[in-house]
Amino acid sequence: MSAHIVLENISKFYGEVLGVNKVSLSIPPGITSLVGPNGSGKTTLMNLMAGLLQPTRGRLSVCGLSPDDPEKYFRVVGYATQYDGFPRGLTGWQFVHSYLRLFGFKPADTERLAWEAIDRVGLRDAAPRKIAGYSKGMRQRIKLAQAIAHRPRVLVLDEPLNGLDPLARAETIALFKELGREGSHVLISSHILHEVDLISDQVVMMSQGYVVAEGQIRGVRGEISEQPMQVLIRCDKPEHLASQLFQHSQVVEAKVHADRAGLLVRTHHAESFYKLLNHIALNGVQIESVAPADDDAQSIYEYLIGAEETTK
């Protein structure tokens, strides 16, 4: 049985409006972030994976299972939607426990799993209270508890960090990492790109219903060849280093950092640039550190999607 989430040429149209088009992905276990502007098709893609929508064309499977077989599929998949709706009148405990009963576990197991999930999101004290009185962050967490209660191998989370305070955000990110380490798929959509960097093993970038990039962030950055790579070098003589670098054609731009203790270099050929840098370092420049400055989700987003957004 495949351990991947596989989408084959998936399209979804709402009448004549495009949701997603010709999406083909194979997502391995680990934490995957789905990134894109509003209306890019992230929620549509997640709803398709959760069987809440049916594709107009194409096929998808999760760990070899299809949403057409819900009795098996939803034992493997858990989904916390971005919808802020809850059944009326339920407490946090009743909410998690009631829907867990649909799995047909024994009553004692249902109770144990419900408390376990509530504990994992840190809501034990609030569980006996009605959800209607919860804050936005607590509602997010109780939805997360409901999604993880049956211990799914694949967890799909639509904007799970929205509304969380910094402490809850850090705890929730730690939980995602823990789930990822346990070998689960954790698929997260997020607008907050620096958190995507912190969390993700890989990213899927979407724009206007299409997947524009996928893979590990560094790998995706390497494929954007039209944008020179940015490298930040901390050193003792940045002006001298800049003058030496400009003698070589692979350096497009070199900018001395405001604190005069570093240099930001743009180059089309990262590998040959690093070799060159080693050579220069042997000739009297003290280099403290070298780090890529634009192989993060924010930069990739700006290169791939920011350009499209601005040309619209």
The binding site for other proteins (CB under 8 A) comprises 14, 19, 38-39, 41-44, 47, 50-54, 70-75, 77-79, 81-89, 98-99, 101-104, 146-147
Neighbouring C-beta atoms of residue 176, cutoff 10 Å: 23
CB of 20 to other proteins, least distance (A): 10
Largest alpha-carbon pair distance within the chain?
74
CB of 41 to other proteins, least distance (A): 8
Given the complex with other proteins, which of 87 and 284 has the nearer CB atom?
87
CB of 294 to other proteins, least distance (A): 29
Joined tokens for residue 299? 């930069």
310, burial (CB in 10 Å: exposed 0-12, middle 13-18, buried 19+): exposed
* Residues 127, 118 contacting (CB under 8 angstroms): yes
Eight-class DSSP state of 200: -
CB of 90 to other proteins, least distance (A): 8
**Which of 3, 58, 27 has its CA nearest to residue 209?**
58
Given the complex with other proteins, which of 31 and 65 has the nearer CB atom?
65
CB of 43 to other proteins, least distance (A): 4
CA 168 to chain centre: 18
CB of 115 to other proteins, least distance (A): 18
CA distance 255 to 227: 16
CB of 94 to other proteins, least distance (A): 9
Please report, for residues 18, 35, 197, 203, the alpha-carbon distance to residue 193 in angstroms, rounded to integers and kept in the order given: 25, 8, 7, 11
Given the complex with other proteins, which of 38 and 247 has the nearer CB atom?
38
Given the complex with other proteins, which of 63 and 147 has the nearer CB atom?
147
Neighbouring C-beta atoms of residue 81, cutoff 10 Å: 18
Given the complex with other proteins, which of 37 and 222 has the nearer CB atom?
37
Given the complex with other proteins, which of 14 and 246 has the nearer CB atom?
14
Given the complex with other proteins, which of 150 and 221 has the nearer CB atom?
150
Instruction: Strands of the chain (E only): list them.
Output: 5-14, 17-27, 30-35, 57-62, 77-80, 154-158, 185-190, 202-207, 210-215, 229-235, 251-256, 262-267, 287-292
